[in-house]
A = this chain, B = another copy of it.
Amino acid sequence: MSKPKIVVQEKIQLPSGFRAAGEAVGLKRSGRRDMALLVSDQPAAVAGVFTTNQVQSATVKLNRTRLRGGIARAVIVNSGNANACTGPQGMTDADRMTELTGLLLEAPKSQVFVCSTGRIGIPMPMKVIEAGIAKVASELSARGGKDAATAIMTTDTTIKHATVAIKVNGKPVTLCGMAKGSGMIEPKMATMLAFLLTDAAVERKSLQAALKAAADESFNRISVDGDRSTNDTTLLLANGAAGNKPLKPGHPDWATFCAALNALTLNLAIKMARDGEGATKLVTVRVCGAKSDADADLAARAVANSLLVKTSWVGTYPNWGRIMDSIGYSRAKVVEEQVGICYNKLLAVKHGVFAGASTYEQLAKIQEQKEFTITVNLNLGRGAAVIYTCDCTEEYVQINYVE
């Protein structure tokens, strides 16, 4: 079987049978859009992955129970308040958000999911929320995807959406997605807020497996600051409006669907890393030659989360010594004399010392770029991992203490 060719388009086109809206309802002090509603006209199979943080928002807790039903009609989302650390009242408020949305759409609340993002520990302003829900519900449109993708943003500086078109059983199928990232980003076995919609018909358990696999290779491979959020959520809705034979392993187009989903989630994940709070550079950290994939992951995360490495990337001095330091204190097995490091394809470190194959000036030219790759070869085995990350600037600090 030839590998399906997947083209990711930098726009959002809702698949058939989906409508969306995004509006400014008064939750953000900036007056920007802060509430989104995504609706499937018919009940859709739904898959979800959530934060592994032990402190979880009311919305994550509620969505976990909703997911057991396996069916979604709508997702109501607000930015400006995370509804986390809000106690029993937070649960009541989250439930009320699904109930009200359900009433307006004539859907049971058990088929309505709810996501919140913003500041932790502040009670939800339910009067504003309720009026907001009525407003977005009245503005649903097949072209509302972009407004919705805008409304879920917090400190994001760029909208994050993408669309992939494939064929399943010869029928056109669309997958689209939107995401928000920016700060408190190191998803693990979970993701940040991301909503993926498709008109493909997909068998429910296979949908969950495909989402989990896609998230593991995309959202779970980014880090902005090493802080895992209380609210990370990805939902994937598949409403079957394309009329294909339900997808599952064994279906001739299953591989194509999975490839499309993977391409979509990776596209959104890299957008999150590139738009990390205050970031000026997208850095891909690849570790190979580790004793195991798990070891490679530990080493890659140590590099990507080292404050000294991340701040060094702001400037141009290729401070590879800090990369050596960070892998050294990671829990991965490291033998100093075996380590090789490349900046893009330029060898910087061999046998744990400066390789001399390139000059500091050449390495600095690479670090000057808006995108570059650091490859660390531990030369101990075949384990490999990749993390997408960014530099840590003064602006990151400012964003996070200025009121």
Contact = CB atoms under 8 A, between A and B. Distances in A.
Contact of A396 (B55, B119, B397): B397
Q: Tell me how many chains of this kind the complex includes.
A: 2
A127 B351 CA distance: 25
Interface stretch (A104-112, A225-233, A239-247, A265-273): A225-233
B82 A321 contact: yes
A128 to B, nearest CB: 19
Contact of A308 (B121, B328, B400, B402): B400
Interface string A309-320: 001111101011
Interface string A346-386: 00010111100000000000000000000000000000000
A396 B337 CA distance: 31
A56 interface: yes
Contacts of A328: 53-56, 228, 230
Contact of A321 (B120, B326, B337, B403): B120
Contacts of A292: none
B184 A227 contact: no
Contacts of A325: 53, 55, 84, 120, 184, 227-230
Contacts of A183: 308
B85 A336 contact: yes
Give the one of A53, A56, A320, A333 with max B CB within 10 A.
A53
B120 A336 contact: no
Contacts of A329: 52-55, 188, 227-228
